[in-house]
A and B are shown apart, each in its own frame.
Chain A
């Protein structure tokens, strides 16, 4: 049969190609050989003059747009020759990463400074998308020793510093003081989940809220907050590069979480944002980032309490992961832009600016010398986040270094916590997936 290219056929065929257009619109890679390694010689900034203008890509973590604008205005006053354009490059860390990776592929439109989350910076490093900033730290005399050591060390690899901490957080236990009081409970966070399991039925019975506790939204970094449960039971997503999510300790932790929803009936799972659910009074307690603190305090029409994350039967303390975002400088821009970006990076992380950022969002101050007295007088709850930093633990490699692992963990958590899936089988399947990602995407890029 002969088919004419009439209008109907033509329209049909034109529609077919649309799906492939987005990816192919990017620039292509070189297949001539590896081009990822950052040459040490290219990071010498002697004699370089800062560029007149750079873009700062941010997702405004913790609703920080106003404070970011204010800091940039101060920067312009101090450095009138460098203009910083504040760009909303996404609504969350994933969207900003998507834009950044796409610009890398297109080899155009890169920012001077970019917000990078705990799960993204290593990928940028392994792709050669960001530069080590040691040379700039030295040249601009950035007081690296005045930063919170553990937060700075999160961005170290191969004896080089790849980023500096910015909107850094830990999860906090948020509770409704009024509900706790009505239930006759002490005005504090539970020391362990076992203690909370004793409190929960009383809370559910007296509060009128739907849940005594709500698990964070599974689409929003479930792998991050569930580390608290895993570590409390002696489990983990991984130990170094060994995937341990299917160990009996890890399975026991997630089984307990599943039981709190299906067997005991006092817990639920947030659909979008646990902090919003908590502020709306749907639940008596939850776990959410310190970056949500100011938003919760503003929105909640009840007394809000915060505390350390509860421990578990195997580990009563030291069960809190760090998280949040840092700032990095792309490799695909000119040295002039990199120097201007580093000048802004230094200013952004000055003690008074980190204090201002902390006051506006609830994120932890990243500098030891930051004067937090006025901030803590206005928002004493931030002190809890600061104190908890001493009890934090480095996140599991599987979550922060395996591309897509956080999403796979969220899917598995959804199966367990919303479909009552078999915990052991789900974790066994997850282990297989994570090992596949490690073998294919990470192992070849690790230094021997």
Chain B
């Protein structure tokens, strides 16, 4: 066994200081005739570091364990029950709730709505966010105000945003209906028509969240190496070429980060859907369907728990796929 190398700060000045563990293994020592006792793995310093780590991390780990992972485990158990919310008793049904979901017509509808909502909101927020970031990156007057204005919707309450946009979309007395009437057109039934409801919620979601993407992209754009861009410009590359061949590849860590975070938050989008379409008519994504089944009119708590577990699995798979495959395309420097 290789003896651990210990950094010795008290080495005499005429001797080279010992180094921390090297990446290349040291030559194996000659076998000892008598095994020497192994030195304790933890020195006083390591133990102290570990205690500091515990003091810092433990409260958070306890909180996350209590409020995230313990409910998650409980939820998996509930998903095996036929349980009406509010009832004190339930029956164990094994995987029946999962079978019911996947064999119902709702499954395709809910998964389809989730897919459409996620793809368009993630794509829309990122593409528009990047375009806005490019605009904000230019050196013209008023960009500071514009940055604040673009980011503001992201920090606004989803409930407030939903209520205001409901007034805007209202076909009876909304601003949009008023404009359309001025143009001689009737307002579409944004709120009652399930297909238009989904469009309405997507528009508001993208509006609310593109500021986040814009600010993160802006930070990415401002950290791009200027010498590379200047060299490309000197070589005759025009702005479009520089963007697609230099800026965009160099922004790939930012894009990757945004892809993960916006997709996770999009799959868990709730407030806008709840406020703008309380029945979830046409807007029932996985998370909203889970809510409706338990806390809406149906009170099917076990079934809802199963949908939550399915959502968890979807999120897990997407995250793992992104980390394994998409990250390979990322150019970090």
* C-alpha spacing A441/B87, complex, angstroms: 12
In the complex, how many angstroms separate the beta carbon of B184 from the nearest chain A beta carbon?
14
In the complex, how many angstroms separate the beta carbon of B13 from the nearest chain A beta carbon?
39
A418 interface residue (CB < 8 Å to B): yes
Q: From residue 217 to 243 of chain A, which have CB atoms closer than 8 A to chain B?
A: 217-219
Specify the chain B residue showing the minimal Cβ separation from A410: B279
A21 interface residue (CB < 8 Å to B): yes
B18 interface residue (CB < 8 Å to A): no
Residues of B within 8 A of A33 (CB): 89
Interface 1/0 per residue, A1-45 and B, CB below 8 Å: 101000011001111111111111110111111111000000000
In the complex, how many angstroms separate the beta carbon of A273 from the nearest chain B beta carbon?
10
In the complex, how many angstroms separate the beta carbon of B86 from the nearest chain A beta carbon?
4
Among A19, A26, A104, the residue within 8 A (CB) of B268 is A19
Interface of B (DSSP majority class): helix
In the complex, how many angstroms separate the beta carbon of A275 from the nearest chain B beta carbon?
12
In the complex, how many angstroms separate the beta carbon of A265 from the nearest chain B beta carbon?
10
B72 interface residue (CB < 8 Å to A): yes
Among B191, B279, B319, the residue within 8 A (CB) of A407 is B279
A173 interface residue (CB < 8 Å to B): no
Q: From residue 170 to 208 of chain B, which have CB atoms closer than 8 A to chain A?
A: 170-173, 189-195
* C-alpha spacing A32/B92, complex, angstroms: 10
Q: Are A102's CB and B189's CB within 8 A?
A: no
* C-alpha spacing A123/B86, complex, angstroms: 9
Candidate in A119, A280, A418 with the most chain B CB atoms within 10 angstroms: A418
Count A-side interface residues using an 8 Å CB cutoff. 68
Q: Are A24's CB and B72's CB within 8 A?
A: yes
Residues of A within 8 A of B305 (CB): 20, 23-24
B228 interface residue (CB < 8 Å to A): no
B312 interface residue (CB < 8 Å to A): yes
Q: Are B71's CB and A25's CB within 8 A?
A: yes
Q: Are B260's CB and A12's CB within 8 A?
A: yes
Q: Are B319's CB and A16's CB within 8 A?
A: yes
Q: Are A15's CB and B264's CB within 8 A?
A: yes
Specify the chain B residue showing the minimal Cβ separation from A215: B192
A406 interface residue (CB < 8 Å to B): yes
Interface 1/0 per residue, A385-422 and B, CB below 8 Å: 00000000000000000011111001100110111000
In the complex, how many angstroms separate the beta carbon of A169 from the nearest chain B beta carbon?
20
Interface 1/0 per residue, B143-178 and A, CB below 8 Å: 000000000000000000000001000111100000
Q: Are A411's CB and B279's CB within 8 A?
A: yes
> Which one of A50-58, A93-101, A341-349, A354-362 is at the interface?
A93-101
Q: Are A20's CB and B71's CB within 8 A?
A: yes
A128 interface residue (CB < 8 Å to B): yes
Specify the chain A residue showing the minimal Cβ separation from B279: A219
Q: Are B308's CB and A36's CB within 8 A?
A: no
Contact A17-B72, Cβ < 8 Å, known A23-B308, A417-B192: yes
Q: Are A28's CB and B195's CB within 8 A?
A: no
A124 interface residue (CB < 8 Å to B): yes
* C-alpha spacing A105/B84, complex, angstroms: 9
A277 interface residue (CB < 8 Å to B): yes
Among B73, B77, B192, B297, the residue within 8 A (CB) of A404 is B297
4 A-B pairs besides A24-B75, A127-B87 with CB distance below 8 A are A23-B71, A23-B301, A104-B86, A104-B87
Residues of A near any B CB (own CB < 8 A): 1, 3, 8-9, 12-26, 28-36, 94, 98, 100-102, 104-105, 119, 123-124, 127-129, 210, 214, 217-219, 268-272, 277, 280, 282, 403-407, 410-411, 414-415, 417-419, 437, 441
Nearest 10 pairs of A and B residues by beta carbon: A24-B71, A17-B68, A29-B90, A24-B75, A101-B86, A404-B297, A271-B191, A20-B75, A24-B74, A104-B86
> Can you show 14 pairs from A to B with CB atoms below 8 A apart?
A3-B323, A9-B323, A12-B319, A17-B69, A23-B71, A24-B71, A24-B74, A100-B86, A102-B85, A104-B86, A218-B281, A219-B192, A414-B193, A419-B194
